[in-house]
Amino acid sequence: MLNKDEFVHFLANTGALRFGDFITKSGRKTPYFINTGEFRTGQSLSTLASFYADAFVEHFKNKAENLFGPAYKGIPLCAATAMKLSDAHNINLSFTYNRKEAKDHGEGGTLVGYTYKEKTNVVIIEDVITAGTSVNETMETLKCIPNVNVVGLLISVDRRERLENGLSAMQIVSEKYNIETHSIININDIIEFLTKEENRKKINAPEDILERVHNYRNEWGVA
């Protein structure tokens, strides 16, 4: 069963979730920052994949046969998640990932792994999305491949921030492509974690961080 407090604690302990003063790509001042590049060991990747697998079972069980990991961060994520689904949940899915450049020798092409020989329901495994640009690129790639039917997107953290049209990136992707979009946690789960004093102490959070994150969500968050 997915334990969201445990995931927030895990992110903070690995340094993937940091609290302080940061600037987003869009120029917003934010009191927290997500960097999944901090998962650099076999243990941290294994733990991360366990959370992805739990979230997949919660949202996509019996809905997909394949995991697709966009280059580059999606590559280890989809492979490790497929392993955890097999080991912990007895769910044996195929997985596929893409190269940025086509290979002209060996197996050739841009795809590695399962090659969609028959109609296949696919869930995209990503780390985080900001404006949805990378997901748009992935969807453009997949829609050109016969037998691929994308049914969903699963990411680690959904910031649930409004973009120019008032929707979040996840909401835009869901509406644009008519797919399910889910995350292991979102900003509301981080705030829920921070409301507990013992949790703030565990991760040595700044004293005013709960108020700052709460205010940031109120200013930029979607309904």
Per-residue pLDDT tens for 168-201?
999 999 999 999 999 999 999 999 999 999 999 9
State how far the Cα of 29 lies from the Cα of 216, in Å rounded to an integer.
9
Give catalytic status of residue 105 as yes or no: yes
- Distances, alpha carbon 11 to alpha carbons 7, 133, 223, in Å: 6, 24, 25
In this predicted structure, what is the pLDDT of residue 8?
A: 97
Residue carrying structure tokens 């895990």: 10
- Per-residue pLDDT at 4 exceeds 70: yes
Query: Which residue, among 15, 21, 89, has the nearest Cα to 51 in the 3D structure?
Result: 89
**At residue 103, does pLDDT exceed 70?**
no
Helix (H, G, I), strand (E, B) or coil at 80: helix
Which of the residues 100, 105, 117, 201 is marked catalytic?
Answer: 105
Confidence check: pLDDT of 19 > 60: yes
Q: Is 61 a catalytic residue?
A: no
What is the model's pTM? 0.94
Catalytic residue among 61, 103, 143, 196: 103
Query: How far is Cα 67 from Cα 90, in angstroms, rounded to an integer?
Result: 15
Domain holding 169, by residue range, is: 4-220
| CATH code at position 80 | 3.40.50.2020
Task: Give the chain's domain count.
Answer: 1
